[in-house]
């Protein structure tokens, strides 16, 4: 009777868990999952009951609610008050619950050190768990507890876990060292180096990937530890994680610059001319030869060949690291020959992340600053698309300004004109005008063409007609500024264009803003020395509307009047060459001078100007002429002006500082130019690797039972010269022990209850499985098998009756018998296995 009650109770518990799981995934009538609504309605008291429940599903629901409140920063729930309830479940069999507890410990363990120490013992016990995932989670949880007094215990745990048979656990050891070094890097420096040395010699690529991340963050000053692993890492770089690949390339870049000889470059010339030889320069663009060959050190060549394996990686970070290697060690010819420009543009095209796309474009801009010829074939790839962001478009325009030359100038100018006319973004239009100004510097022909096009654009845009374009005043001002810069280089050549601009000042149908008018007036003052006759009439027309002009225009009119008066005085002094009969020098007559009358009128208006700056400048300028300091006025007003440099942030797109630091040139060390030592010992001789997978020998381990196929699995030996066979040949089992799988049959209620295992039942007859010895012609394999299962004999002798009963109950399942029987390996020292 008691047995039946136990079975019914166990069945009801299973049904209850299944019901909760089904209710959690059911959909509500509003389309929102009922589980989400259910988790929202969990009260604080109910949450505490869930965390203390004996049912795994309720504990999981409670942890999900708690972590979601933690992530969303829910102020209504006092999350920290549940700390004691959470750590009670540290030994939960549910992996998800344990991961959530680790997240909780990471946040609150430092605030509650006394309670956090209660779970340390449980975490240490789980380090010997049969499940590798549980052991890895325990290592992670211990390293996340930021309590200084606990660090010695954690280091002892790491020393034990570093020889674990699971690669996941050893990887977590590497990340745990990173966390501990971030807190106290000096206290455990020696222990860290010892553990690092062991991790570097690991044979598993997963562990090497984690170790590379550890080395890059914490031990970049210990590059000598890589001597014996350099060649091995170059061979397995394709098997590492993508982030570890990038980190390894960055580390080996520094290593090669420090410990490997510089390449030598030999010029290829005719037979009668002696070839010149030089060492590889710090920058690959500093190679002076047109035709040359380069001689690499064998280890450096091995590293470069390893980089070629990663050229087609789908991770842009790996491609960027490979580009860095080529910029450090390869020539521009090799850079193009290996297809890096094409791969860079392809990665930009297929990437969907805007930040990645902008980063790749900035790398292109960085390379174009050094050698733009590399990207000449990809000019059209940098044309702007309408859906692209401002930063992407700006970087593309900056790259176009670097790539512009005689071969592609026509297509670039045509494209830039389209941007100026049709794009609505003011910033993009301004940047496009800047590129057009750069294109005008290529030749005089394109300079004249661009200047006329810009002046025509100004006339069309400032006219009150239907042909006026949608160019903003800011963009128009920048166009006039660009015209001024172009004309300032050769004012005598573009005199007609200057006259055409002056017609825009007082014409009623043209609407120029204050800044645009000021630029044109300043340009008129600069050509006064070339053609003085037209300037007074322009000044007279400007004086008519002086009081209605803007601040900048009024200021430029004042300066223009002073310039013209200064030029007029100098011209008068040049014409007077003879001295009067009375011996007195003739002076400039201010009363009869028309220019002085214009100047006086403007000074008078400026005295009553609302801007104190204009009033002060008017008094300063008038004092120069009243005190007859004409030479000082000439020096200050007629001095040649330098070409204005563009300081606008809208037009200055520079490479990001982080990218500059990443691609910063690494200087070659002088040590690389000398021999290693007197005995000529190879410091990069491969070291012996540590293969911890040999501990996976227990028949009951999950990692062994996961290998249910009959094929051999191979592990590299320490010298990397041959393969050591660990497993044996497929065995042949007795046909009487093999069972065929039965089709699924719907069970009745009595049969369902009969399948429930009875923990109180004892004395169940044990099942004996007879395994025939497989025939093998290789005696060496049999000897290896005996050594392989030597530890299994000792473990099976120590097992008690309860463990045997549990294993027999698990083997009674119909679907598991066949697999277990077919994959058991014969060992001569074990006559039979009792289940």
Q: For every residue of 77-124, which 3-state class applies, written as one string?
A: CCHHHHHHHHHCCCCCCCHHHHHHHHHHHHHHCCCCHHHHHHHHHHHH
Question: What class does CATH assign to 19-219?
Answer: mainly alpha
pTM: 0.71
| Residue 742: predicted pLDDT | 53
Which DSSP letter does residue 747 get? -
Q: Which helix (H) or strand (E) holds 456?
A: helix 444-462
Mean pLDDT over 351-373 rounds to 91
| Residue 503: predicted pLDDT | 79
| Whole-number CA gyration radius for the chain | 42
| Residue 213: predicted pLDDT | 94
pLDDT digits 0-9 by tens, 513-527: 788 888 888 888 888
Residue 178 has pLDDT above 70, yes or no: yes
| Residue 283: predicted pLDDT | 78
In this prediction, what percent of the chain has a pLDDT beyond 70? 72
Calpha distance 679→695 (Å, rounded): 39
Residue 812 has pLDDT above 70, yes or no: no
Other beta carbons within 10 angstroms of residue 383's beta carbon come to 16
Residue 562 has pLDDT above 70, yes or no: yes
pLDDT digits 0-9 by tens, 366-377: 999 888 999 999
| Residue 254: predicted pLDDT | 94
Calpha distance 693→689 (Å, rounded): 12
pLDDT digits 0-9 by tens, 800-809: 444 444 444 4
| Residue 601: predicted pLDDT | 92
Q: Which helix (H) or strand (E) holds 724?
A: strand 723-725
Mean pLDDT over 1-29 rounds to 57
- Distances in Å between the Cα of 65 and the Cα atoms of 89, 92, 353 are 15, 17, 32
pLDDT digits 0-9 by tens, 572-620: 877 765 555 455 556 777 778 888 899 999 999 999 988 999 999 999 9
In this structure, of 75-89, 130-144, 581-595, 719-733, the range with the lowest mean pLDDT score is 719-733
Average pLDDT of every residue of the chain: 76
Tokens of 437: 């100004």
pLDDT digits 0-9 by tens, 627-655: 888 888 888 888 777 766 554 544 567 78
| Residue 358: predicted pLDDT | 92
Residue 829 has pLDDT above 80, yes or no: no
Sign of the dihedral defined by the CA atoms of residues 556, 559, 565, 571, in that order: negative
Q: Which residues neighbour 765 within 8 Å (Cβ) at sequence distance 6 or greater?
A: none
In this prediction, what percent of the chain has a pLDDT beyond 90? 23
Q: Which of 498, 420, 496 shows the shortest CA–CA distance to 461?
A: 420
In 234-323, at which residue ranges do the beta strands (DSSP E only) sit?
Answer: 264-267, 277-279, 292-295
pLDDT digits 0-9 by tens, 299-310: 999 999 999 999
Q: Are 821 and 738 in contact (CB under 8 A)?
A: yes
| Residue 119: predicted pLDDT | 81
In this structure, of 39-43, 246-250, 474-478, the range with the lowest mean pLDDT score is 39-43
Q: Which helix (H) or strand (E) holds 715?
A: strand 714-716
| Residue 23: predicted pLDDT | 52
Task: Choose the most confident range, by mean pLDDT, from 62-66, 76-80, 408-412, 771-775.
Answer: 408-412
Q: Are 405 and 417 in contact (CB under 8 A)?
A: no
Mean pLDDT over 701-720 rounds to 38
Residue 250 has pLDDT above 90, yes or no: yes
Task: Choose the most confident range, by mean pLDDT, from 407-421, 463-477, 568-582.
Answer: 407-421
Q: Which residue has the higher pLDDT, 255 or 763?
A: 255
| Residue 362: predicted pLDDT | 93
User: DSSP readout, 566-621?
Assistant: HHHHHHHHHH--S--TTS------TTT-HHHHHHHHHHHHHHT-S-HHHHHHHHHH
- Distances in Å between the Cα of 724 and the Cα atoms of 310, 741, 775 are 29, 36, 21
Calpha distance 45→85 (Å, rounded): 12
93: phi then psi, degrees, rounded to nearest 5: -80, -15
Other beta carbons within 10 angstroms of residue 595's beta carbon come to 20
Per-state percent for the chain, helix, strand, coil, to nearest 5:
60, 5, 35
């Amino acid at each position: 009777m008691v047995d039946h009650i136990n079975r019914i109770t166990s069945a009801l518990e299973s049904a209850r868990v299944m019901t909760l799981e089904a209710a959690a995934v059911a959909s509500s009538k509003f389309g929102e999952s009922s589980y989400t609504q259910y988790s929202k309605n969990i009260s604080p008291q109910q949450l505490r009951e869930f965390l203390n429940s004996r049912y795994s599903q309720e504990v999981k629901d409670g942890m999900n609610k708690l972590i979601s409140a933690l992530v969303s920063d829910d102020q209504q729930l006092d999350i920290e008050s549940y700390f004691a309830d959470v750590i009670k479940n540290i030994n939960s069999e549910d992996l998800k619950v344990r991961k959530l507890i680790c997240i909780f410990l990471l946040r609150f363990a430092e605030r509650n050190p006394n309670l956090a120490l209660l779970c340390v013992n449980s975490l240490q016990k789980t380090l010997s768990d049969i499940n590798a995932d549980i052991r890895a989670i325990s290592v992670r949880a211990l390293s996340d507890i930021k309590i200084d007094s606990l660090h010695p215990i954690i280091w002892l745990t790491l020393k034990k876990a570093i020889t674990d048979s699971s690669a996941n656990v050893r990887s977590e050891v590497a990340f745990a060292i990173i966390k501990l070094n971030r807190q106290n890097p000096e206290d455990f420096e020696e222990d860290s180096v010892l553990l690092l040395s062991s991790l570097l010699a690991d044979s598993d690529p997963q562990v090497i990937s984690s170790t590379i991340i550890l080395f890059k963050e914490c031990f970049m000053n210990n590059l000598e530890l890589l001597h014996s692993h350099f060649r091995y890492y170059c061979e397995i770089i394709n098997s590492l994680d993508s982030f570890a690949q990038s980190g390894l390339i960055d580390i080996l870049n520094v290593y090669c610059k420090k410990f490997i000889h510089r390449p030598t470059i030999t010029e290829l010339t005719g037979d009668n001319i002696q070839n010149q030889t030089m060492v590889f320069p710090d920058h690959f663009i500093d190679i002076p030869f047109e035709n040359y060959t380069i001689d690499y050190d064998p280890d450096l060549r091995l590293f470069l060949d390893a980089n070629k394996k990663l050229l087609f990686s789908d991770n842009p970070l790996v491609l960027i690291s490979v580009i860095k290697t080529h910029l450090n060690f390869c020539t521009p010819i090799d850079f193009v020959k290996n297809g890096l420009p094409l791969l860079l543009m392809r990665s930009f095209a297929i990437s969907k992340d805007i930040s990645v796309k902008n980063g790749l474009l900035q790398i292109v801009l960085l390379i174009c600053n050094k050698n733009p010829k590399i990207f000449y074939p990809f000019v059209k790839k940098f044309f702007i698309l309408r859906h692209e962001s401002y930063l992407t478009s700006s970087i593309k325009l900056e790259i176009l300004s670097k790539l512009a030359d005689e071969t592609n100038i026509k297509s670039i100018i045509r494209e830039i004109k389209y941007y100026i006319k049709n794009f609505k973004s003011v910033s993009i239009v301004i940047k496009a005008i800047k590129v057009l100004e750069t294109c005008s510097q290529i030749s005089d022909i394109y300079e004249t063409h661009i200047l006329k096009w810009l002046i025509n654009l100004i006339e069309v845009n400032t006219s009150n007609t239907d042909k006026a374009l949608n160019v903003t005043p800011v963009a128009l001002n920048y166009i006039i500024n660009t015209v001024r810069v172009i004309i300032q280089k050769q004012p005598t050549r573009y005199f007609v264009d200057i006259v055409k601009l002056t017609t825009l000042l007082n014409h009623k149908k043209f609407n120029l803003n204050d800044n645009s008018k000021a630029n044109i007036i300043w340009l008129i003052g600069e050509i006064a020395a070339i053609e003085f006759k037209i300037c007074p009439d322009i000044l007279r027309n400007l004086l008519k509307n002086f009081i209605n002009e803007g601040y900048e225009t009024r200021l430029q009119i004042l300066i223009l009047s002073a310039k013209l008066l200064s030029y007029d005085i100098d011209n008068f002094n040049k014409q007077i060459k003879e001295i009067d009969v009375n011996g007195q020098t003739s002076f400039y007559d201010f009363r009869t001078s028309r220019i002085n009358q214009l100047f006086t009128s403007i000074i008078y208006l400026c005295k009553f100007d609302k801007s104190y700056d204009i009033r002060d400048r008017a008094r300063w300028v008038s004092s120069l002429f009243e005190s007859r300091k004409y030479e000082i006025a000439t020096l200050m007003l007629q001095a040649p002006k330098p070409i204005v440099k563009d300081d606008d942030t809208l037009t200055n797109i520079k490479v990001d500082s982080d990218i500059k630091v990443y691609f910063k040139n690494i200087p070659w060390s002088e040590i690389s130019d000398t021999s290693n030592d007197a005995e000529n010992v190879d410091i990069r001789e491969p070291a012996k690797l540590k293969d911890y997978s040999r501990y996976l020998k227990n028949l009951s381990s999950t990692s062994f039972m996961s290998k249910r196929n009959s094929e051999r699995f191979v592990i590299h030996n320490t010298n990397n010269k041959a393969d050591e066979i660990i497993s044996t040949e497929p065995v042949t089992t007795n046909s009487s022990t093999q069972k065929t799988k039965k089709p699924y049959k719907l069970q009745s209620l009595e049969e369902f209850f009969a399948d429930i295992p009875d923990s109180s039942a004892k004395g169940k007859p044990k099942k004996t499985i007879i395994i025939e010895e497989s025939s093998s012609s290789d005696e060496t394999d049999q000897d290896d098998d005996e050594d392989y299962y030597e530890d299994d004999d000792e473990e099976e002798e120590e097992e008690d009756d309860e463990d045997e009963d549990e294993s027999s109950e698990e083997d009674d399942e119909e679907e598991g018998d066949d697999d277990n029987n077919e994959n058991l390996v014969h060992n001569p020292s074990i006559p039979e296995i009792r289940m």
